[in-house]
Amino acid sequence: MAHFGFPLETLIIFFAVVSFSVYLDLVMHRNVRDITVAEAARWTVFWVVLALCFYVYLWLRFNREWADLYLAGYVLEKSLSVDNLMVFIAVFASFGIKSHLQHRILYWGILGALVFRAVFVLIGTGLFLASPWVGFIFAGFVAWSGIQMLKGGSDEETIEDYSRHWSVKLTGRLMPVYTRLHLERFFVRHHELAVDALDDKAVTRRSALYATPAFLCLMVIETSDIAFSFDSVPAVISVTQEPLLVYAAMIFAILGLRSLYFVIAALNRYLVHLEKAVIALLFFIAAKMALQSWNHVFGDTGIHISPGLSLVIILLVLLTGVVASIIFPDKEEQGEVK
């Protein structure tokens, strides 16, 4: 099968759509004070439709095989993002960040993700194409993430305090911190603070400029997203090693992440078995990547999982998690209904 490469027309269309989408999202939500679940759901549908439009373009302009590779990667990245968003819920709770400020932090976090994912995709696909042995390493990363999630899910009483995250401590060493939220600002100048704020040790040390808890929260979101990339990027690369298709799949999934967050935040208490489905997906992807590498390094086993089959398995596993959450709800939730 020939390489997809970097067709100029596709590059122009992709980056034009992404640039317009980021601008549209910024303009449409510039003066929004609160994000309702209904509005978030409408925007989530919009982003999904936009991603499917790119799928149709790839199918009509090239062929269905390339389009299916992109779609399988998109669905996989979207499903892995669900668990990431659940972590973001805990992060915002640790910093006491409310709805509208969450929206602003997620916006800048997603802009950072666009850049970081491009770097990880180029490095990841380059390493994978350089040596098939790299696939075993990537499979190990993905399986390790699944094991860590499995261990974390067994202790439901433990809720991590992200205000003590290593990125927060590092930021505090690099610059002074004003320990209170100041409007919706990431930074605040010394002369903008009231005198009593300085007297009651609300700042870690005197300076002309201070970081606020909103900026510290953004740092946790960014560093967490980088950590998530270590399993999501190899996972999508397991579907296709074409850099443009991998990046397109991840970016279209990320573009709708902010709206999806508010939907997941509202449904989190009901989707109690969705995390188990995501864990199952991680183990499936790890096995698929290890199988691919084995076929290249030690000889063809005759076992191949096509992009179409991968897509079906991903969708079925996610659907199983949702249906299981409906049929077997959390005991506390079930008690409330009674």
In-domain check, residue 197: no
In 3D, which of 58, 46, 52 has the Cα closest to residue 74? 52
Tokens representing residue 30 in the block? 């510039």
Hey, how many other C-beta atoms are within 10 angstroms of the C-beta on 41?
A: 16
Residue 54: its pLDDT value, please? 94
pLDDT tens per residue across span 93-132: 888 887 778 878 888 888 888 888 888 888 877 877 777 7
- Residue 185 within a domain: no
Domain residues for the domain of 77 are 8-177+212-337
Query: Could you tell me if residue 75 is inside a domain?
Result: yes
Kindly state whether residue 233 falls inside one of the protein's structural domains: yes
Position 196 in a domain: no
Give, in degrees to the nearest 5, the angle at Cα 130 between 127 and 134.
55
- Confidence check: pLDDT of 282 > 60: yes
Among 116, 160, 158, smallest CA distance to 250 is for: 116
Q: For the chain, what is the domain count?
A: 1
pLDDT for res 219: 92
pLDDT in tens, 45-64: 998 999 999 999 999 999 88
* Entry pTM: 0.78
Q: Is residue 235 part of a domain?
A: yes
Tell me whether residue 115 is in a domain.
yes
Confirm whether 153 is domain-assigned: yes
d(CA 106, CA 114): 12
Quick one: pLDDT band at residue 2, thresholds 50, 70, 90?
Answer: low
Backbone φ, ψ for residue 189 (5° rounding): -85, 155
Instruction: Identify residue 106 by its one-letter amino acid code.
Output: L
Residue 157 has pLDDT above 70, yes or no: no
Please check the confidence at residue 1 and state whether its pLDDT lies above 60.
no
Q: Which residue has the tokens 């399986």?
A: 143
Share of the chain above pLDDT 90, in %: 9
